[in-house]
Amino acid sequence: MLKNIIFDLDDTLLDFKRGEYEGLRDIFIAQGIKDLDKVLQTYNKINTQVWLQIENGHPAQPLLNTRFSDTLAQFGISADGGQLEKTYRAKLNQNYHVIPGAIALLDSLKQQNYQLIVGTNGVAKTQYARLQGAGLMPYFDDVFISEEIGYNKPNPQFFTHILKHGHHITRNNTVMVGDRLSADIQGAVNAALPNIWFNPRNEQSSTTIQPDYVAQNYHDMLTIITQNMS
């Protein structure tokens, strides 16, 4: 019987893309960039490769410290990537944008006595600050962040840690919910955990990763959790 729900944070409950855009906009304008669309396209390509390397087990911070300097180098600008990363991180720490409907979902699940757990990749200081600032912390019984665990999703050790240290969490009574196939869903598959892919944009998968369930909105998610999996 389903008792525990592990939630990813970014773009599953918190609107990471909105806060990301605001932070990137401020940084690139301060560096004298005029064509924001072009620089954001360049950054996104570089950032995607950075996170693929992190998810494959490479140390995170040295890679993160290169994404701004590598992006700006494409525009003939020399910059201190580590310092810009700190500036960006400070902006992200104050990204408290919650996806509309997330609070209502969490309220409903708590009222039905599910144990709610955060299972997210990222920098611990940033994720704790955002959970607190967005008012989400009271909903969660446990918080697990890759920087503290020492493994990133999709490494199965990320989930092994949760199963070992969480309260009454087993593979038989727990589901992973997340928006990223390559991290959240592949990680759950690697750890033999049931999973729900949150796919509000109705994206078509270009991979062989097969989620157990797909939710296009929070109503779908609630139905899957309370009816299909109970």
Helix (H, G, I), strand (E, B) or coil at 89: helix
Q: Which residues contact residue 51 at a Cβ distance below 8 angstroms, ignoring those fewer than 6 apart?
A: none
Pairing of strands 195-198, 115-120: unpaired
Q: Find, among 45, 98, 34, the residue nearest to 71 by Cα.
A: 45
Determine whether 8 is an active site residue: yes
The phi, psi pair for 5, rounded to 5°, reads: -125, 115
Catalytic residue among 8, 70, 179, 184: 8
Q: Which residues contact residue 149 at a Cβ distance below 8 angstroms, ignoring those fewer than 6 apart?
A: 157, 158, 161
Q: Find, among 104, 107, 102, the residue nearest to 12 by Cα.
A: 102
DSSP 137: G
Determine whether 26 is an active site residue: no
Residues 85-122 as b or e (16 or more Cβ within 10 Å = b): bebbeebbbebbbbbeebbebbeebeeeebbbbbbbbb
Locate 153 and state its tokens. Answer: 């999703």
The phi, psi pair for 193, rounded to 5°, reads: -105, 140
Is residue 28 within 8 A of residue 79, CB to CB? The reply is no
Residues marked active site are found at 8, 10
